[in-house]
C-alpha cells in the first residue's frame, strides 16, 4: 500500500510501528508527551501509548541520554529526543563516553539499543544556537551509528532499523524538511543501515549528497541536464556505516565525484568521504574530488545572510562545471 506522507509523519510512523509491536520501546524527551514535540513529530503518541511509554523529561540533555543508556542496558529500547542537534553539546559525555563505549568495554555482555533523535540543519531562521549540522562530531566517535533520512520513506524505514539495532544510533531529522511530502510504500519495511540509494542515475558525474542537500543536488541535476550533463546522485542515508561500495561503483562509471553536505565545510564529515574516495579510487578519477559545504561561520539569523551561508543547487552546478 502506498500513501503520501510528510517527512515528519514518516518519523512518527516508524516509531509507532515498533511501539505497537514491542512494549519495551519507549519515547522520552522535552515536550514529547501531551505537547507532541517541539516540531509536532510525536503528536498523538502520548494519547495512544500513555504516560508510561511517552514521557516528558526535565530540560537536561545529559539526563535524557544518561537515562537512555541505563534503560537500554536493562532491556528497554528507548528513543531519546534531543530537541535540537546543537544541544548534543550538553550530552556529549553521556553520548560519547557512555553510550558509544560501554558495549565495547563490557566485552559485548551488555547491549545498548537506543535511538537519539535530534533536529539539525538551517534554513528556518533559527539562528546560530539552533541550526547547526554536527554530523562530523557524531561520526568521529567509534561505537555510534548515524542515519540522516532525506524523505518520508527513508525516515520510516531508517527509524525501524535504528530501533532494531543493538547499538546506539543517532537519528538526525532536518527541520526544513519536516513538512516535505513524498510517496511512501507502507510494505517496504526497514531500510538496512549502511545501504545507500541511487536517487537519480547518470553517467557523467557522481554527486554524493546528504539530508536536505539531496534535494539541492536534484535541482542541480535538472539544470545540468539542460546542458547535456547527466549527474548520478547518491544518498548515503546512513552516514555510519557508510555505503562506500555504491559510491565506488558510481565513480567507476562517471570518473568524477562531488560530495555535498550542509555542514560547515571545514572539518565536515564529507571531507572524510572525500579523503576515502581520493585514497581508494584515485585511478578511477578524471578530476579532483570537489567538496561543497556551508561557510565557515556561525549560522546567521538574518534570512538574507542565512541563504548566503548555505550551499545550494547553484554551488553544485558550478562545481560540476569546474571539473570540466
Domain harbouring 102, CATH code: 3.40.50.970
Show which of 185, 209, 240 is a domain's final residue. 185
- Please indicate, yes or no, if residue 149 is contained in any of the structural domains: yes
Same domain (yes/no): 113, 81: yes
Sign of the dihedral through C-alpha 114, 215, 87, 30: negative
Give the angle subtended at the CA of 176 by the CAs of 38 and 270, to the nearest 5°: 115
Whether residue 209 sits in one domain with residue 181: no
Residue 149: domain span: 2-185
Q: Using the 3D structure, point to which of 185, 217, 250 is the last residue of a domain.
A: 185
Question: What is the C-alpha to C-alpha distance for residues 197 and 125, in angstroms, rounded to an integer?
Answer: 30
* 254 close to 205: Cβ distance less than 8 angstroms: yes
CATH classification of the domain holding 230? 3.40.50.920
Do 48 and 172 lie in a common domain?
A: yes
Q: Long-range contacts made by residues 241-244, C-beta under 8 angstroms, separation at least 24? A: 241/145, 241/193, 241/194, 242/194, 242/196, 242/273, 243/194, 243/195, 243/196, 244/273, 244/276, 244/280
Each residue's pLDDT, cut to its tens digit, for the chain (324 residues) gives: 899 999 999 999 999 999 999 999 999 999 999 999 999 999 999 999 999 999 999 999 999 999 999 999 999 999 999 999 999 999 999 999 999 999 999 999 999 999 999 999 999 999 999 999 999 999 999 999 999 999 999 999 999 999 999 999 999 999 999 999 999 999 999 999 999 999 999 999 999 999 999 999 999 999 999 999 999 999 999 999 999 999 999 999 999 999 999 999 999 999 999 999 999 999 999 999 999 999 999 999 999 999 999 999 999 999 999 998
Does 156 share its domain with 204? no
Q: What is the pTM of this model?
A: 0.97
Task: Give ∠ CA 282-288-290 in degrees, rounded to 5.
Answer: 125
In the annotation, is 174 catalytic? Answer: no
Bridge partners, 181 (sequence order): 6
Same-domain status, 178 and 275: no
> Does residue 22 sit in the same domain as residue 160?
yes
Together in a domain, 67 and 151: yes
Using CA atoms, how far apart are residues 16 and 136, in angstroms rounded to an integer?
29
Catalytic residue among 130, 174, 215, 255: 130
CB 263 within 8 A of CB 91: no
Count of structural domains, the chain: 2
CA distance 163 to 168: 9
**Dihedral angle over CA of 146, 307, 183, 189, nearest 10:** 0
Contacts of 194 (CB under 8 A, 6+ apart): 238, 241, 242, 243
Nearest to 168 by CA among 97, 120, 109, 237: 97
Residue 197 has what DSSP assignment? E
Q: Are 27 and 19 in contact (CB under 8 A)?
A: yes
Amino acid at each position: 500500500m502506498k500513501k503520501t506522507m510528510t517527512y515528519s509523519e514518516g518519523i512518527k510512523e516508524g516509531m509507532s510501528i515498533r511501539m505497537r509491536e514491542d512494549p519495551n520501546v519507549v519515547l522520552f524527551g522535552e515536550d514529547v508527551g501531551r505537547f507532541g514535540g517541539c516540531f509536532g513529530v510525536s503528536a498523538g503518541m502520548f494519547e495512544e501509548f500513555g504516560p508510561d511509554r511517552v514521557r516528558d523529561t526535565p530540560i537536561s540533555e545529559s539526563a535524557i541520554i544518561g537515562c537512555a543508556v541505563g534503560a537500554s542496558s536493562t532491556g528497554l529500547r528507548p528513543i531519546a529526543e534531543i530537541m535540537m542537534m546543537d544541544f548534543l553539546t550538553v550530552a556529549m559525555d553521556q553520548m560519547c563516553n557512555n553510550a558509544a563505549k560501554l558495549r565495547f568495554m563490557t566485552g559485548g555482555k551488555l547491549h545498548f539499543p537506543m535511538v537519539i533523535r535530534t533536529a539539525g540543519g538551517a534554513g528556518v531562521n533559527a539562528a546560530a544556537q539552533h541550526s547547526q549540522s554536527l554530523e562530523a562530531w557524531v561520526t568521529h566517535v567509534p561505537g555510534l551509528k548515524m542515519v540522516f533520512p532525506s524523505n518520508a520513506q527513508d525516515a520510516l524505514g531508517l527509524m525501524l532499523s535504528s530501533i532494531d539495532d543493538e547499538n546506539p544510533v543517532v537519528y538526525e531529522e532536518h527541520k526544513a524538511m519536516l513538512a516535505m511530502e513524498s510517496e511512501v510504500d507502507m510494505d517496504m519495511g526497514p531500510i538496512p543501515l549502511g545501504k545507500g540509494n541511487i536517487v537519480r542515475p547518470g553517467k557523467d558525474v557522481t554527486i554524493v549528497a546528504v539530508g536536505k542537500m539531496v534535494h539541492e543536488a536534484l535541482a542541480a541535476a535538472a539544470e545540468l541536464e539542460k546542458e547535456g550533463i547527466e549527474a548520478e546522485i547518491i544518498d548515503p542515508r546512513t552516514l555510519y556505516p557508510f555505503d562506500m561500495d555504491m559510491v565506488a561503483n558510481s565513480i567507476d562509471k562517471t570518473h568524477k565525484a562531488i560530495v555535498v553536505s550542509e555542514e560547515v565545510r571545514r572539518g565536515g564529515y564529507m571531507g572524510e568521504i572525500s579523503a576515502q574516495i581520493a585514497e581508494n579510487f584515485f585511478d578511477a578519477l578524471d578530476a579532483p574530488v570537489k567538496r561543497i559545504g556551508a561557510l565557515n561561520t556561525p549560522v546567521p539569523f538574518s534570512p538574507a545572510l542565512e541563504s548566503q551561508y548555505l550551499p545550494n543547487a547553484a554551488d553544485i552546478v558550478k562545481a560540476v562545471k569546474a571539473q570540466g
